[in-house]
Structure 1
C-alpha cells in the first residue's frame, strides 16, 4: 500500500519555495553520490548552488517532473529530463542561471577540472554507449531524486514512466549514474546496461560512471 499518496506533474516554473524545497531534497538524496562530491570539490556549501543551477537550467530548456504529497503539497520527488535537441548547460542562457556563479565559487583546482577534464573525459564514453543514438536525440535524465523519507513508494519509477510515454516511437531514454546501488535500481527498471568508464577526478581517484538506455514505449 502507498503510505504517502502523491500526484505527478510537469511544471514550467517552480515557485521560489518549491525551488528551495527541491534543492534541499536533492542535497539529502544525493548525500552518497561520488560525482556530487567531486563536482563541488568536497565543499558541502556548494551542493545547493549546483542543484539550483541544474534545476533552473532545466526549467529553461528541459522538462521538470515532480511528485507532490497530496495531503501536504510537499515535494517528494523530482526528475530533470532534457528532450531531444536539448542538452544541459549547452549555451550561455542556461549557464547564466547559476552555473557560472557556481564555477566562480570553486577552488581553482576543481574549476580547472570542470573546464578541462569533466566534459572531455565523459563525452567519448557517452557517445559510444548511446550509439547509434546521441545525447542530442534522446530523452536524457540529468537528475532524479526522491526524498529519503518517501522512497520505496514507486515515485522514481513513475517519474520515469511519464517520460517513457512521451518518448513513444521517436527516441530512447538515457542516463548515467555513479553508484552500484543505482546500477541495480535501473536494471530492475529494465534499462539496458551500456557499460562503464572511469571518470578522472582532481584527486586522481577515478569514479566509475555507468550508462543505461531504454526504448520509448513503442520503439
Structure 2
C-alpha cells in the first residue's frame, strides 16, 4: 500500500473493538522485540495482555495517539506517550487496569524479575539519560508501533512530531529501544543517542536497551 490517506488523532478512550485492534497492532509490531520476549517470559500468549495493560494505563494517565486509515477506519499505528510528571504504572489506579492481572499470569521467575530487577536496573540509567531534565519535564514514549502492512508511510515519524510540537520550552522527548533497526530510525529523526544499558534477564543474560532524547520543537 503506497501513500494511503490516514489521519492522526489523540484519543481519551477507545471502544472495546478499537482496544482489541490496538493491542493486535502492538503484537504484530513488536513480534521480534527482545524486551517483550523477556517481559512475557517467552510466553507469546501474554504479549496481548501486556500491551492491553499498557494502553489502558496510558488512556488513564498519558496520551494515546493513533493513526487511522481513512478509507477503512483501521488503526494503522499508535504511540503511547506520558507527559511531564507521569510515568507508566506509577500507581495502583494504572496497575489495576490489567498490569496486576498480567503479573499474576507470569511464571514465578519472570514475576520476580519484574518486581525486583526490571525497574531498579533501568531507573538509574534513564535518570542519567534525561539529565539535566527530569521526569517532571519530559515526554516519555513508552510504545510506538505501526502495523507492518502500513509501514514506510511516515506514520511513526508523524506520531512523534505531534508530541514534539506540543513540548514546551523546558521539555524534552525521551525513549528507549532494544533493536539496532530502531536505533537507526531514531538517529535519522535527529534524536540524540544517549547510550545503552545492559538489562539483566530472568535467565541471567542481558539485552541492550538504547536510550535517546530530543529537545521539544520550541526548546
What residue is the counterpart of 1:151 in the other structure? 151
Distance 1:147 1:126, change over 3 A: same
Q: CA deviation at 1:66?
A: 0.2
Q: CA deviation at 1:169?
A: 1.4
Specify the SS of the correspondent of 1:38: helix
Specify the SS of the correspondent of 2:142: strand
Distance 2:15 2:2 in 1: 27
Distance 1:10 1:49 in 2: 22
What residue is the counterpart of 2:81 in the other structure? 81
Distance 2:85 2:130 in 1: 15
What residue is the counterpart of 1:10 in the other structure? 10
Residues matched between the structures, number:
219
What residue is the counterpart of 2:20 in the other structure? 20
What residue is the counterpart of 1:208 in the other structure? 208
Q: CA deviation at 1:133?
A: 1.0
Distance 1:174 1:102 in 2: 26
Q: Give RMSD over aligned pairs.
A: 1.0
1:18-44 CA distance string (max 9 Å, x none): 100000110000001000000000000
Distance 2:203 2:76 in 1: 34
Distance 2:28 2:14 in 1: 19
1:125-166 CA distance string (max 9 Å, x none): 111111111233200000000000000000000000000011
What is the TM-score with the length of structure 1 in the denominator? 0.98
Distance 1:2 1:164 in 2: 26
Q: Runs of 5+ in structure 2 lacking a partner?
A: none
Q: CA deviation at 1:204?
A: 1.3
Q: Runs of 5+ in structure 1 lacking a partner?
A: none
Distance 1:2 1:46 in 2: 33
Distance 2:92 2:39 in 1: 20
What residue is the counterpart of 2:43 in the other structure? 43
What residue is the counterpart of 2:132 in the other structure? 132
Q: CA deviation at 1:2?
A: 4.8
What residue is the counterpart of 2:180 in the other structure? 180
Distance 1:99 1:136 in 2: 23
What is the TM-score with the length of structure 2 in the denominator? 0.98
Are 2:110 and 1:110 aligned? yes
What residue is the counterpart of 2:30 in the other structure? 30
Specify the SS of the correspondent of 1:112: helix
Q: CA deviation at 1:168?
A: 3.2
What residue is the counterpart of 1:160 in the other structure? 160
Distance 1:153 1:5 in 2: 10
Off by >4 Å, runs of 4+ in structure 1: none
Specify the SS of the correspondent of 1:54: helix
